[in-house]
Structure 1
Amino acid sequence: MFTGIIETLGTVADLKKDGGNLHITVASALTGELQIDQSVSHNGVCLTVVSLQEGTYTVTAIEETLNKTNLSELRKGDTVNLERAMILGSRLDGHIVQGHVDQTGTCTAIDMKDGSWIFSFVYDDKLGNPTIEKGSITIDGTSLTVVGSGSNTFSVAIIPYTYENTRFNTYKVGTVVNLEFDVIGKYVAKLLQLR
């Protein structure tokens, strides 16, 4: 379980294919605090630490994860949003984030708005994932509030702190991002579908 509040950025130090799996080695300031078997969110994808090295750690993404997320597009030197699992009893500063990406979306517009930015995205609505105005969405692991919602589009407003301390400053029109829709909204949509 995560909150969607990004702790730091990591840098992809190495990538190794192993059958359908991808071993991702990340250099991060968090490395010294990690242990093998811990869960860490990478661009919103919950992955398990499988090994630790001097200044780096390695996680493994399986083929299903690679097919449903943007992790298959990672290259050496890319940055990733990182968050360690939530500590029970801590503040929930973002929203409830499972680290289970529902699907990807694509950035369609970036508009500067007097010191902040509006990022717009499109996604495949056939998968039944809803957004609502003022609802929560997770983009590459970052907890955000929806400021504009359509049937297969939405927008979010990004403050300078978020822009400077997450991957948002690397996004361009066409960037593919991981989306995790609000878990409460998904349950409500499923219950309505069953009726």
Structure 2
Amino acid sequence: MFTGIIYCKGKIKKIITTGKGKNIEIYSEKEITNIHNGMSIAINGVCLTVASFSGLRKFTADISKETIEKTTFKNIKHSQNINIELPLTIDKFLSGHLVLGHIDTIGEVVSFYVEKGNTLLEIKFPQKFFKYVVEKGSIAVDGVSLTAFDIKNNTFKVAIIPETMKQTIISEYKKTTQVNLEFDIIGKYVAKIFNKDVPE
């Protein structure tokens, strides 16, 4: 489990296609002091498992075919920058919101602009997920905990503060950039209780 507060950025150093999907090698900008095999780690919002590591900055992870199909990992590239988040522990503050690392769908950047000194990002998503996007509610975009507003049938906006721009790959976004979206787990549980469809 995660919180949507990115630990640091990293870079894809190697991609190996396997019979079960892909194996990726990642270099972290910061040391991960407690890294170990089997550790959960979120890459662009996707929960992966550390398969091996070398030192405190380099590690590998496997990506299944299903995960590749349902996330932006289908377009993963060598030297691509990525968001890295370490798993939530009991002694941490829950500064963002509860994020599982299970991507619901892929969104697309519609616009990215500055208005009255505020940096705003507008994202398009499949209309069938509309019920899970709540005004002033939480949403994870490439693993980053953000607050949705100005929600339309298939778009929403988020405001990006300078610290988020600095610490994440959001600064690299442009029109048509594809992003991983995970909707708030609490909202999905409520929908399940009331027998509404939930993302598969």
Q: Same fold (TM over 0.5)?
A: yes
Q: 1:192 aligns with which of 167, 191, 194?
A: 194
Pair 94,126 (structure 1): closer, same or farther in 2 beyond 3 Å: same
Aligned sequence identity (%) = 37
CA shift at 1:128, angstroms? 6.1
CA shift at 1:127, angstroms? 4.9
Q: Which residue of 2 aligns with 1:141?
A: 143
Confirm or deny that 1:97 pairs with 2:106. Answer: no
TM-score, reference length from structure 1: 0.94
Q: Deviations over 1:105-153 (max 9, x none)?
A: 0000112124431101111123565201100000000001112212221
Pair 169,37 (structure 1): closer, same or farther in 2 beyond 3 Å: same
RMSD of aligned C-alpha atoms? 1.7
Please identify, of 81-90 and 29-38, the stretch whose mean Cα deviation from structure 2 is larger: 29-38
TM-score, reference length from structure 2: 0.92
CA shift at 1:89, angstroms? 3.3
**Matched residue of 2:121: which SS?**
strand
Q: Distance in 2 between matches of 1:81 and 1:59?
A: 14
CA shift at 1:172, angstroms? 0.5
**Matched residue of 2:96: which SS?**
coil
Q: Unaligned stretches of 5+ in structure 2?
A: none
Letter matched to residue 148 of structure 1: D
Q: How does 1:7-22 map to 2 (within 5 A)?
A: 7-22=7-22
Number of positions where the alignment pairs a residue of Structure 1 with one of Structure 2: 195
Q: 2:109 aligns with which of 100, 103, 107?
A: 107
Q: Unaligned stretches of 5+ in structure 1?
A: none
Runs (4 or more) in structure 1 with deviation over 6 Å come to none
Q: Which residue of 1 aligns with 2:79?
A: 77
Q: Distance in 1 between matches of 2:120 and 2:175?
A: 12
Please identify, of 48-57 and 99-108, the stretch whose mean Cα deviation from structure 2 is larger: 48-57
Q: Which residue of 2 aligns with 1:154?
A: 156
